[in-house]
Amino acid sequence: MAINYLNSIDLNQNELLHAQIENQASDVLAGTGVEGQLYFNTTDDVLKVWANGAWSSISGDITSVTAGDYLNGGGNIGDITINHDTTSRSNTTSSDSPAYGGSFTVIDSIASNTYGHVTAVNTKTVTLPASDDTTYDLTVPSATTNIRLAGSDATNDDVTISSTANETTVTRISATELRIGLPDDVTIAGELTVAGTGQSSFAGQVTIPQTPSADTDAASKHYVDQAVTGALSYQGGYNASTNTPNLDNNPSPNPIKTGWTYTVTADGLFFTEQVRVGDVLIAENDAPTTLAEWTTVQNNVDLADLTTVGIGNVNPGEAIDVSYSNGTATVSVEDSTATNKGAVIVAPGVGISVAYSNGTATVTNTDTNSSNTDTGQITAGSTSGTVTHNFGTTNVIVQTYLDNATDNYPTVFCDVTRAVNSVTATVATAQTDDIIILVQKIG
């Protein structure tokens, strides 16, 4: 069943894509139209319009083309070709029988009106060429030009070789040989790079800067002596249960040195302090004899869990934020968002009430169906109807249907306008049945 539009449709100059005009086999089946109505005649394959009380074809097609004087071809279907007749003319410039150099008239264009009917046939004069034998002369070079490049002279140039004191020596061995070498004492103003994978040896002392300035510089004896003073020197494990090796007093003949470091391998007392496996002991002085002369690094504090107090930290979780300041953690609950769970308060809205009891929110819809919907009608024989809904908004959905049980109450499309508290539906032509108007508030 077709959808009923009871008013004009305004496409606002947009394209109507893939539409099909009503198909009928004859004017009789198309029936009586209104001025400007269209239909397609499937028998004649033409488009027709209702004008001046009758159906008229608006195709404007040329149904037959006939060749005239000195032309051949033509036809009444498909692509039609008109050719110049070259067999019946004589070699003359007469316009009655045009030949080379002659002329004749042909159709230039066809004009039509808005209905496609031919209103004028425009012609033009065509002049044939004077001859079918045309020659073009081209001039080409008669010789080839060579391009030559001149070379330089073949004289010999002098080469001078000089040496620098303490850098190079040049010795004349013969008339054909010069030997370049290094003197006993060599001064290199720039950098010296020694390539290869072999070892380099020095019989004498090599003097280098006292303090290196780069990671790849050689270190002087003075720099090394200063660097290792007080450095940590790992000595091995320490059994605190048996005081092995003896650290409670300065052992002899190997006195403890500053920086000597031990790892506790068995629990026990170190002087008066409890130490456990994994703790580290570092001597602060040579030959220490008291606890104050040692640094104890605790390494045996347990990690915290639900039942054990120990080392731990607080991580943020879903809906939980954690921040730290001077070692103190602050834990807070995040506000809920559309993409993140968190703390949320349910607030009442229009038509919604919220009540809380023991932390539980109860949400109740206080709106009724009658406060959000309304109905009205366009009475049979009338062209408009208004529904005063008093919703206080133009955010309403409006639907209209024909109150006709025989047609199963079909939906029809009317021209609908909205006001804050009412809607009005209008049709171009009054109907013999009531048109029911349905209104529903949104939001």
Mean pLDDT of the residues in the chain? 79
Residue 145: the pLDDT is 40
Q: What is the pLDDT of residues 126-158, one digit of tens each?
A: 666 655 544 434 444 444 444 344 444 555 555
**Domain endpoint, select from 329, 348, 367:** 367
Strands 260-266 and 233-239, sheet pairing: parallel
Q: Is residue 167 part of a domain?
A: no
Long-range contacts of 46-54 (CB under 8 A, 24+ apart): 47/21, 49/115, 54/27
* 327/338 same-domain check: yes
- Mean pLDDT lowest for which of 129-143, 176-190, 249-263, 275-289? 129-143
Residue of 437 and 61 predicted with greater confidence = 437
Residues 80 and 105 in one domain: yes
In a domain, 287, yes or no: yes
Per-residue pLDDT, 159: 60
Q: Judge contact between 220 and 210, C-beta under 8 A.
A: yes
Alpha-carbon gap, residue 255 to 283, rounded angstroms:
11
DSSP 8-state code for residue 72: E
Torsion sign (Cα): 349, 352, 356, 361 = negative
The verdict on residue 98 lying in a domain is yes
User: Which of 79, 102, 127 is at the close of a domain?
Assistant: 127
pLDDT in tens, 162-187: 666 666 777 777 767 777 777 777 77
Do the domain assignments include residue 146?
A: no
* The domain boundary residue, chosen from 108, 127, 146: 127
Residues 377, 362 share a domain: no
Q: In this structure, is residue 59 part of a structural domain?
A: no
Of the pLDDT bands very low, low, confident and very high (cuts 50, 70, 90), residue 281 is: very high
Query: Does 10 map to a domain?
Result: no
Task: Report pLDDT for 134.
Answer: 44
Tell whether 116 and 75 lie within a shared domain: yes
pTM of the model: 0.34
CA 128 to CA 103: how far, in whole Å?
6
Domain residue limits at 71? 65-127
Residue 423 lies in a domain: yes
Cβ contact 44:26 at 8 Å: no
Residues 433 and 375 in one domain: yes
Percent of the chain predicted with pLDDT > 90: 30
Please report the pLDDT score of residue 124 as a whole number. 74
CA distance 349 to 329: 38
- Residue 87 domain flag: yes
Name the least confident of 174-178, 306-310, 334-338, 417-421: 306-310
In total, how many domains does the chain have?
4
Integer-rounded Cα Rg, in Å, for the chain is 56
Q: Is 164 exposed, middle or buried (0-12, 13-18, 19+ CB in 10 A)?
A: exposed
